[in-house]
Structure 1
């Protein structure tokens, strides 16, 4: 299996690339934005911009699967008064409408063009909540555009798996019970689980590529606190708990 991973230079993207490299029978390439990220990840990484596919489309061609981990990222601008909250902004050309909508739409179109058999899209929990605070950060309306891309993928005709993780935490994977839901159902439960380790999201991506139970599924992914419940090992059973469509 040949897998192409975009957003491979991010914290979750690096974990996905590492896990895929460990899988026998999988050949993986990752798209990163900066030269130093390529140097860190080695020969399996290529430099490019999702908004300018001419430089990397050839790397995608011939792939069996595409994993989309690209996302607009906010920057912090300190205020003149240290007592004031910091200002958050997106760099020019890197607004959510451009990265999470136009960029992801371009990737989906290229996947269809080149006969990619499955697209795994990492979105975010909260996309059904227009008033979510993330939509106000930097004026980017990021969850709205992520939802637009997810809908576009579902209607593209390409087999898909869409994962909406909760808040990403930098904790070891494989130690927690994972839970799946639909359309932000966990957010409607007071005190319910809202976070998931990046490493567990990476493992879910790998398993979604290996198990047919994940095909044409879209689901939220969170975890119980470590030590609460049995760590998830059977991903086929986990994927069977959710349904097709957004």
Structure 2
């Protein structure tokens, strides 16, 4: 049974990942969910997760949270959002702190959910989107590079535009950084879970889109896990 540490589980893709990981009875994994806001603890505990309170932008509370949950096989992070009072973003600094502690603890695999528009996929997004989100995408790119350079076995998944609707089952991964489109959060979660035990996903950077919701109808190669 894998021990998984999930950061960013209060809502969105992270919450969908928690639901999928714990959907079996009994669960097939042990899930520890890092929360900064205790408001969401009851819902996650009801799913079967162990909740640890901590802030990824505060190394002391983050290290305490990770130290109190035993062995960790895999870290998954979907963290992002508004900057702290000091101007730090979880997209970059929070994820970098998490990566450094994963190295320290000998974590076997690290899965980072980033965004299309980060790194070499910047070519996939429209100029007006880049103008609006460029600063955030640069922060995400820094976290990606930190992970690649960390020595950890990693998978980086860059979703397209996100929608909170039921999974379509049509989501795919591709190594083509020029592809962009829409994807539902529940489908991103399924792709993350599919990568957990796939050696083919190791040390790969993917774009994640729904094959039927591309911004432009182009041919591309789907990655087979």
Normalising by structure 2, report the TM-score. 0.81
Shift of residue 167 of structure 1? 0.6
Q: 1:144 aligns with which of 108, 131, 138?
A: 138
1:202 pairs with 2:189: yes
What is the CA RMSD across the aligned residues, in angstroms?
Answer: 2.5
The reply to whether residue 162 of structure 1 matches residue 163 of structure 2 is: no
- Cα distance in 2 between the residues matched to 1:181 and 1:175: 19
Moved more, 25-34 or 43-52: 43-52
2: distance between equivalents of 1:167 and 1:156? 28
* 8 Å Cα contact 1:134-1:141 kept in structure 2: no
CA distance in 2, matches of 1:100, 1:146: 5
What is the match of residue 217 of structure 2?
A: none
- Structure 1: which 5+ residue stretches go unaligned? 74-89, 188-193, 227-236, 242-246
- What is the aligned residue count? 205
In the alignment, the residues of structure 2 paired with residue 182 and residue 3 of structure 1 have an alpha-carbon distance, to the nearest angstrom, of 28
| 1:99 and 2:90 aligned | yes
Shift in Å at residue 148 of structure 1? Answer: 0.9
Q: What's the secondary structure of 2:147's corresponding residue?
A: helix
> Which is greater in Rg?
1
Residues 193-216 of structure 1 deviation map (CA, whole Å, 9 limit, x = unaligned): x11111111011111112211111
Q: Which residue number in structure 2 is paired with residue 122 of structure 1?
A: 113
Note if 1:222 corresponds to 2:223.
no
SS in 2 for 1:49: coil
Instruction: Provide the C-alpha distance between the structure 2 equivalents of 1:196 and 1:222, rounded to a whole number of angstroms.
Output: 5
* Distance of 2:71 and 2:117 partners within structure 1: 34
Partner of 2:73: 64
Contact 1:134–1:143 (CA under 8 A) maintained in structure 2: no
Change (3 A) 1:213 1:36: same
Q: What are the equivalent positions in structure 2 for 1:170-181 lying under 5 Å apart?
A: 170-181=164-175
Residues 212 and 239 (structure 1 numbering): CA distance in 2 closer, same or farther, change over 3 Å?
farther
SS in 2 for 1:46: strand
Would the aligned equivalents of 1:181 and 1:221 in 2 still touch at CA under 8 Å?
no
Q: 2:101 aligns with which of 110, 115, 123?
A: 110
Check 1:48–1:134 CA distance in 2 against 1; reply closer, same or farther (3 A cut): farther
